[in-house]
Chain A
Amino acid sequence: MITLIDLHKAFGANRVLQGARLVIPTGQSMVVIGGSGTGKSVLIKCILGIVKPDSGTILIDGQDVAKVPRDAFLARFGMLFQGGALFDSLPVWQNVAFRLLRGSLATPKVEAKEIAISKLRRVGLSPDVADRLPAELSGGMQKRVGLARAICAEPEIIFFDEPTTGLDPIMAGVINDLIREIVSEMGATAVTITHDLTSVRAIADRVAMLHGGIIRWEGPIADLDSSNDPYVDQFIHGRATGPIATIR
């Protein structure tokens, strides 16, 4: 279970998180929605320790993440980045098996490549993609490779940062389905940030809406349309008028 307690983070005068609180139950798929620039990515990066919160506490299974050994802590996570964030200089299979080729999970190269190819197959890519460079792949294929990398070391918790941004609707649907299937079969806890409502409905067990630096609403996906929260209503219906200012 991931617990965020009163998280604050500011970049200069821009107060991005202003007391965010959220509980993400183990094995659940939580989708965090919110407009662009509301701090969704910062929230995830705080959990991962990429961004240090100004104040507040983050607990994973009751342990304060600021006090646990870093490598062991990070070994529990996988992350799919918005743009894929694949390493240009490495072939696809080395991107996927990156964690297996070095560090505490180091595995013989042949075995690591086999695992990478099996993960590529799992996300619908053929083995011949393995030796190509990321620049030779389409955007959708890069997302799949990023997904394969995120799941390669069988993490307990997976983050998905805008997994369908920049993809056509069909490819977005494929990625959504893959995420749902993979999270279910691995039994992992998933945290997805997106403003794509199709993704929300395809992926989420629970939804949280981040606005103004705090979680304004949180509940099961079934309650999203009947939240009676004016912020959520405006967001999911895409209205220009409402409590969320349209000029930011």
Chain B
Amino acid sequence: MIRFLASVGAATLAALASIGRLAMFVADTVSHLVRPPFYLREFGHALLQIGYFSLPVVGLTALFTGGALALQIYAGGARFSAEAVVPQIVAIGMVRELGPVLVGLMIAARVTSSIAAEIATMKVTEQLDALVTLSTNPMKYLTLPRVLAATLVMPILVAVGDIIGIMGGFVVATERLGFNAASYIQNTVNFLEPLDIISSLAKGAVFGFIAALMGCYFGMNSERGAMGVGRATKGSVVAAAVLILAANFILTEAFFSA
């Protein structure tokens, strides 16, 4: 019994220590926002990598999801003669939930893993130590530009994902399900409220922050060797995905609980 309690205690302490380390990492990252120097070139590079080069995967994910959503709502709605709600449900589903969450998860897969692997490799090959000896703070040079870029660019990616997702639903609804194009667009525009769009963009910013932060955190704390890099990469993606889903629930509760 004592052994069991000891193991529970040890696990609890380890979990609390991890939370503490992560909190300090977040505080350190944010504190660099107001402390020069700022590495604008790194920031621009991160904007391109995280934003521009993620557009194809975001677009394709949203397109197919929007199309599938339209088919499902049509089929499901037919059970109680509510096929006509396809435009409204596709719009609200994409903008409020699927757009931000799927874009967040795709960014976690594409960007978080890439950041974690890159920084972890830099750590095991002593490039982080080299940065320090060259009077360059790795948090300022590597973490801040990536986290800031992801936080700023993710709302744009989510907006693009929302629009393409709705377009996917539009194409399926008008080409396969016989909806009238003009009334589909009219219903979509009329149904969406400003809060839907604001919540979508806000979720994007939070998810972007989480995705980049997890990549940097796990990369910076990577263990040695190829296995260490692999573990850091895997851990970063899992942590980012879980935190994005948890944050999504909290934000949904905050925005839409009546």
Q: Residues of A with Cβ closer than 8 Å to B?
A: 45, 48-50, 70-71, 74-75, 77-79, 81-83, 85-88, 98-99, 102-105, 149
B72 at the binding interface (Cβ < 8 Å)? no
The residues of A that contact B129 with a CB separation of less than 8 Å are: 45, 50, 81, 85
On whether the beta carbons of B136 and A103 are closer than 8 Å, the reply is yes
On whether the beta carbons of A85 and B127 are closer than 8 Å, the reply is yes
Offer 15 A-B interface pairs, CB within 8 angstroms, sorted by A.
A45-B129, A50-B133, A74-B135, A79-B133, A81-B126, A81-B129, A81-B130, A82-B126, A85-B130, A87-B127, A87-B130, A99-B135, A103-B37, A103-B136, A105-B135
Count contacts between A and B, CB distance < 8 Å: 49
B125 at the binding interface (Cβ < 8 Å)? yes
The residues of A that contact B126 with a CB separation of less than 8 Å are: 81-83, 85
On whether the beta carbons of A83 and B125 are closer than 8 Å, the reply is yes
The residues of B that contact A45 with a CB separation of less than 8 Å are: 129
On whether the beta carbons of A85 and B125 are closer than 8 Å, the reply is yes
The 9 A-B pairs at the shortest CB distance, nearest first, are namely A85-B130, A85-B126, A74-B135, A79-B133, A81-B126, A99-B134, A85-B127, A50-B129, A71-B135
Within the assembled complex, what's the spacing in Å between the Cα atoms of A149 and B135? 13
**Residues of B23-39 contacting chain A, CB below 8 A:** 37, 39
B82 at the binding interface (Cβ < 8 Å)? no
Chain A contact residues: over half helix, strand or loop, or mixed? mixed
The residues of A that contact B132 with a CB separation of less than 8 Å are: 48-50, 74
Q: Residues of B with Cβ closer than 8 Å to A?
A: 37, 39, 121-122, 125-127, 129-130, 132-136
The residues of B that contact A70 with a CB separation of less than 8 Å are: 135
Within the assembled complex, what's the spacing in Å between the Cα atoms of A102 and B136? 9
Which residue of chain A lies nearest to B124 when distances are taken between CB atoms in the complex?
A83
The residues of B that contact A77 with a CB separation of less than 8 Å are: 133
Which residue of chain B lies nearest to A103 when distances are taken between CB atoms in the complex?
B135
The residues of A that contact B127 with a CB separation of less than 8 Å are: 85-88
On whether the beta carbons of A75 and B135 are closer than 8 Å, the reply is yes
Within the assembled complex, what's the spacing in Å between the Cα atoms of A52 and B122? 20
Within the assembled complex, what's the spacing in Å between the Cα atoms of A51 and B125? 16
The residues of B that contact A74 with a CB separation of less than 8 Å are: 132-135
Within the assembled complex, what's the spacing in Å between the Cα atoms of A50 and B135? 11
Within the assembled complex, what's the spacing in Å between the Cα atoms of A81 and B136? 16
Within the assembled complex, what's the spacing in Å between the Cα atoms of A79 and B132? 10
The residues of A that contact B39 with a CB separation of less than 8 Å are: 102
Which residue of chain B lies nearest to A78 when distances are taken between CB atoms in the complex?
B133
Within the assembled complex, what's the spacing in Å between the Cα atoms of A104 and B37? 10
Within the assembled complex, what's the spacing in Å between the Cα atoms of A85 and B136? 14
Minimum distance in angstroms from A49 CB to a CB of chain B:
7
Minimum distance in angstroms from A115 CB to a CB of chain B:
15
Minimum distance in angstroms from B136 CB to a CB of chain A:
7
The residues of B that contact A71 with a CB separation of less than 8 Å are: 135
Which residue of chain B lies nearest to A72 when distances are taken between CB atoms in the complex?
B135
Known: A70-B135, A85-B130, A98-B134. 10 other contacts (CB 8 A): A50-B132, A74-B133, A75-B135, A82-B126, A83-B125, A85-B129, A87-B130, A99-B134, A102-B136, A105-B135
Minimum distance in angstroms from A20 CB to a CB of chain B:
20
The residues of A that contact B122 with a CB separation of less than 8 Å are: 87
Within the assembled complex, what's the spacing in Å between the Cα atoms of A77 and B130? 11
The residues of B that contact A50 with a CB separation of less than 8 Å are: 129, 132-133
Minimum distance in angstroms from A105 CB to a CB of chain B:
8
Which residue of chain A lies nearest to B126 when distances are taken between CB atoms in the complex?
A85
Minimum distance in angstroms from A218 CB to a CB of chain B:
25
The residues of A that contact B133 with a CB separation of less than 8 Å are: 48, 50, 74, 77-79
Minimum distance in angstroms from A81 CB to a CB of chain B:
5
Which residue of chain A lies nearest to B39 when distances are taken between CB atoms in the complex?
A102
Within the assembled complex, what's the spacing in Å between the Cα atoms of A79 and B127? 12
Minimum distance in angstroms from A242 CB to a CB of chain B:
30
Which residue of chain A lies nearest to B129 when distances are taken between CB atoms in the complex?
A50
